[in-house]
Structure 1
Amino acid sequence: MEATVRDADSQRVQVVERAFNLLNVLAGLGGCATAGELKAATGLAGPTVHRLLHTLTGLGVVHQLSDRRYALGANLVPLGESATRQLGGPAVPQMQALVAELGESVNLAAMESEMIVYIGQVPSPHTMRMFTEVGRRAHLHSTGVGKALLAGMDPARVREILTATGMPSLTEKTLTRPEALLEQLPRIAAQGYALDDEEQEMGVRCLAVVVPHGPSPMGLSVSGPTGRMHDGFVRHAVPLMRRTAVEIGRRMSRLSPRRG
């Protein structure tokens, strides 16, 4: 076993690790930073940082702004979209089955950098249906999945996230005060599901549950027009969604690489 670990370590390429670390640090600094800030944050020598930035700029995954700061580049977008679709791919059969049972659009979303990103969708067969673009990012406070995930967190962590991201108002029903959302979270945790009740878009309701044992914090949601997403629909849908979420979590945990 020790020999296997040593062999694996010997195949790691330091410059690749440094490049990815630099990109992660740049993302953590808000996607934009000076070379000096990157040097301080990574602990790398100045010439090394400049060589990495020069190479990454040439590849289009970093670009330099007019004020000489560096920002994440456009060539990262298709890579991210492809990775996002692959992550949601294993859940598609379960999502399709749920659409067949409920008749509304089903979404899968994961928490990433204090936001949620949609990683999969199976649309409703109805002509009037909700469509969410895979790869789209959204705030936690105004989405069903976001609120379901926040309900499982310590209140101090919830406040930290809301302070970092803000609580922008998207409709007249969007919660914009931390206290208002924090009041909802114990009820969401107790009932095991969350609702976005026209908080993202007027006329649209979204029901969400947490996906247990996923590779990252994830949630499953069903969305549709408020007229079809009535309270009776919610009572019928929640047990089916919980069952599907458990199946998705189990499937993804089997497909995730084991550590250690």
Structure 2
Amino acid sequence: MATKIAVVTGANRGLGFAVVKGLCLKFNGKVYLTARNEESGLEAVNKLKSIGLCPEFHLLDVNIEDSVKNFADFIKIKHGGLDVLVNNAGILERDEIYPSYDAAKRNIDTNYRSLLTIEKYLYPLLRDGARVVNISSACGHLSNIKNKKWLKLLQKKDLKTEEINEFVNEYLESVKNQTFNKDDFADQGKHAEHRVSKTALTALTMVQQRKYFDRNISINAVHPGHVKTDMANGGGVLDPDQAADTILYLILDASSNLKGTFMWHNKKLVDWYDTDGDYYCKDLW
């Protein structure tokens, strides 16, 4: 029987590192800690080895297509497939509450568009029964969006990836053309780029689940809570190990019938389509 394989992106520190640690303790298989920087990735692996855990390291920059392809080729040749994929790599540049076009594009390229590249190369390697967890946030709930046209689009039960891209591109064009409207978002549009990228990520989770439903692959999104990491800029409520608990639950313990859901950090399922709910992000600044 083939060894089970788990992969965590953006895992050299913070939440990703905590997920790798938890998987090394509980997952019956090989765990790959991936990072875009080799030095920091190897340092993270050595830190875990110093406490008796045995993750493997592989270089992976989710923003570079060749890097994703090379990693996929490696997994295919060495293992033939994978069983767990945690899409954790992400950024948030806190200094610009209303970002420039370049900053907005960086956020969306990393937090959303990279998942399209990962889907292209890594999803064909998912074995039957595999589990995928996309790391979203409170910014990924649909209640962050107030633009009625976008809401109508994103609420479609047969939503397609191309339509998510349309939503993302319209936002970016508004920043580029200086027609950005704060009223299109909750909380006066603060860090709208992050709301767009994470909402797009959560929407993509639903789309991907429909695509892979017949192969008994579970794809879910999770808001891990306000985590004490570098991205939180000194804020945060949960330490990374606490936040990782919900992700590990989805991987190791949740029913395989849990598919295409949005799970809150307390392991409660929330209705992603509840646009009037009090779920939108309020703790980015």
- Normalised-by-shorter TM-score class: under 0.3
TM-score by length of 2: 0.25
Ranked by relative contact order (alpha carbons within 8 Å, sequence separation 6 or more), the top structure is 2
TM-score by length of 1: 0.27
